[in-house]
């Protein structure tokens, strides 16, 4: 079964807009799990514009499914991860000024750096996942540096899907087949939504996890959080 990990960054962004604790991020994380989510994802950035570093130990204490911390493995980020030991750490090559994650790692060019990070995570008992564009060479590169999983960047898929679903999904199917052949786990995320998720899930074999935040939170404004999570789970069933 493909797991749904709910990214709660946008919930934190709403909270931060008023400077208080509404909505309560801890309670939202617990509710997401109660409503059926099989994981919670957070992406702390250097400016802490949504998830704050101080949120991480609070979430670690209450998340009972899987906590996935994603971000650029800077020194400060890695200290945060190692101090809190999430189930999974997803490595994302975001620049500090990035609005959102819009490209994956070149796992060949940055092989030495990524190998050191993956080794560090493995020694700490943390599953590693590398965020990559849907290209087979990057899947091979991730396996070579010792990553446990890759997360395929699905932004281009979501953009192309309305015009040509088959062309949009093709590179992801190839990467999924290669990942299965060489023994590396497969996650996916970015711009997946209620319109394109079912098709993606049906055509990408051995998909272990999807991480969805922005679209899910937008849908929750209309459908409610509990109902929205159930709607996304149905796309994965």
Q: Which of 33, 50, 151, 190 is catalytic?
A: 190
Q: Give the integer Cα–Cα distance in Å for 133 and 147.
A: 15
Catalytic site includes residue 172: no
Q: Which of 43, 66, 172, 209 is catalytic?
A: 43
Q: Give the integer Cα–Cα distance in Å for 89 and 98.
A: 19
Q: Which of 33, 66, 70, 151 is catalytic?
A: 70
Cβ atoms within 10 A of the Cβ of 60, count?
Answer: 17
Q: Secondary structure of the chain: what % helix, strand, coil (to 5)?
A: 45, 15, 35
Catalytic site includes residue 87: no
Whether the Cβ atoms of residue 129 and residue 122 lie closer than 8 Å to each other = no
Where residue 36 falls (left for φ over 0; alpha for ψ -120 to 50; beta otherwise) is left
Catalytic site includes residue 203: no
**Closest C-alpha to 43, from 72, 21, 20:** 72
Could you give the residue numbers annotated as active site? 43, 70, 190
């Amino acid at each position: 079964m493909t797991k749904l990990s709910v990214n709660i960054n946008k919930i934190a962004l709403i909270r931060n807009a008023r400077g208080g604790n509404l909505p309560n991020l801890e309670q939202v994380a617990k509710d997401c799990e109660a409503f059926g989510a099989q994981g919670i994802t957070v992406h702390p950035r250097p400016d802490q514009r949504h998830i704050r570093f101080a949120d991480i130990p609070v979430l670690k204490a209450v998340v009972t499914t899987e906590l996935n911390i994603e971000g650029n493995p800077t020194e400060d980020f890695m200290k945060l991860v190692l101090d809190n030991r999430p189930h999974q750490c997803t490595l994302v090559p975001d620049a500090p000024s990035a609005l959102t994650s819009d490209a994956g790692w070149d796992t060949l060019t940055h092989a030495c750096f990524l190998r050191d990070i993956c080794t560090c995570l493995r020694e700490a008992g943390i599953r590693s996942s590398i965020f990559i564009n849907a290209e087979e060479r990057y899947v091979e590169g991730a396996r070579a540096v010792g990553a446990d999983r890759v997360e395929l960047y699905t932004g281009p898929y979501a953009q192309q899907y309305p015009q040509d679903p088959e062309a949009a999904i093709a590179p992801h199917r190839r990467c999924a087949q290669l990942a299965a052949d060489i023994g590396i786990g497969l996650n996916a995320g970015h711009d997946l939504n209620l319109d394109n998720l079912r098709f993606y899930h049906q055509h990408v074999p051995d998909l272990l996890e999807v991480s969805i935040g922005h679209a899910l939170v937008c849908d929750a404004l209309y459908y409610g959080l509990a109902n929205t999570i159930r709607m996304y789970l149905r796309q994965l069933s």
